[in-house]
Copies of this chain bind each other. A is one copy, B any other.
């Protein structure tokens, strides 16, 4: 695991023990990295709890800040306010294979799915890693999803791993980043954790902890870099606060504030999508099971969570920037690690 402590500390809020999305109790993350010549890609899976998500769904909601991209599953999330599979992240052309894997896994656990039981709805979000990865080769298979899921753990690598393997940001290497913040509200403490798949941003626009270092980064890169960016960022937010789907949509929207602080202006070609879920309760699939009867957080108490969401998102993006190692891949294309290109920001 990269030493993420090299990265500047963003903001002022307290972070969790790991400064990662897995600080939210029960959440695990797994990667399957494909690293072989022209193939530089992978799968990352975020698991809200250790049970059967189809039978015990978690409340969820999305905020589509810029909908340039593909996704599977957000229509159901919008309508029903729940997710019923783990969240899978991968490259743009892998979602078919991954959706099939999610369907397969759910059907193995619940053989009546699509028959006596309702169908299951995959949940896949993506970014395009076509610069470093031979995306048309369709190297990601259903088995890779299963392996990422099997690898899910509280401790997980960041940077050029899993779905982040082939991603780029601000003209340097991007990938997976994570962070967490503690939100204290009227004597209660909740955790907001974020994991990003960062594949966005043009070098001149980079803002690091408020400093517009983009122009210096452009100089450091020395030469015109690659084609114009058409990247994206997926931002996954987890919290242990009891929020309903409407409130989770509000929380997800705040990821956009964190994103903007790193220099993004929600570019045309960047699919900027945030998805938030809560681990505070579960929604049973079976209508005969008792529904959760707990009090949601009052909306007027959400500000600390909103601030935590924005700050953790910014930190997670910076984390990706500092963790991602240089990768050479498709056709010899290379994205260098930010900390090599711009060592002044190392430790």
**A-side interface residues toward B, CB under 8 Å?**
11-12, 64-76, 78-81, 92-93, 95-100, 103, 107, 111, 113-116, 118-119, 121-122, 128, 130-131, 135-136, 138, 186, 204-205, 207, 210-212, 215, 227, 230, 244-246, 250, 253-254, 256-261, 264-269, 271, 273, 283-284, 287-303, 306-307, 309-311
Residues of chain B within 8 A of A80, CB atoms compared: 67-68, 299
A78 touches B67 (CB 8 A): yes
Residues of chain B within 8 A of A267, CB atoms compared: 303, 306
In the bound complex, CA of A130 to CA of B111 (Å): 12
A310 touches B99 (CB 8 A): no
In the bound complex, CA of A253 to CA of B212 (Å): 22
Known contacts A246-B246, A284-B298: A68-B79 contact under CB 8 Å? yes
Residues of chain B within 8 A of A74, CB atoms compared: 75
In the bound complex, CA of A267 to CA of B308 (Å): 11
Choose one: B73, B210, B292; the contact of A207 (CB below 8 Å). Answer: B210
Subset of 19 A-B contacts with CB under 8 Å: A64-B78, A70-B99, A70-B119, A72-B72, A96-B99, A96-B100, A114-B135, A115-B131, A210-B212, A244-B244, A250-B268, A256-B256, A256-B260, A257-B259, A257-B265, A266-B306, A267-B303, A267-B306, A291-B297
In the bound complex, CA of A267 to CA of B307 (Å): 8
Known contacts A71-B75, A128-B114, A138-B100: A246-B81 contact under CB 8 Å? yes
Residues of chain B within 8 A of A256, CB atoms compared: 65, 256-257, 260, 266
Residues of chain B within 8 A of A79, CB atoms compared: 64, 66-68, 250
In the bound complex, CA of A73 to CA of B75 (Å): 11
Known contacts A115-B130, A291-B295: A306-B268 contact under CB 8 Å? yes
Residues of chain B within 8 A of A300, CB atoms compared: 268-269, 287
Residues of chain B within 8 A of A212, CB atoms compared: 11, 210
Choose one: B121, B254, B288, B293; the contact of A293 (CB below 8 Å). Answer: B293
Residues of chain B within 8 A of A138, CB atoms compared: 100, 103
Choose one: B96, B205, B268, B298; the contact of A299 (CB below 8 Å). Answer: B268
Residues of chain B within 8 A of A294, CB atoms compared: 293
B118 touches A135 (CB 8 A): no
Give the residue among A99, A122, A212, A284 with the most B Cβ atoms within 10 A: A99
Residues of chain B within 8 A of A113, CB atoms compared: 136
In the bound complex, CA of A138 to CA of B12 (Å): 41
CB distance from A5 to the nearest CB of B (A): 20
Known contacts A130-B114, A253-B65: A122-B297 contact under CB 8 Å? no
Choose one: B75, B207, B227, B254; the contact of A67 (CB below 8 Å). Answer: B75
Residues of chain B within 8 A of A205, CB atoms compared: 307
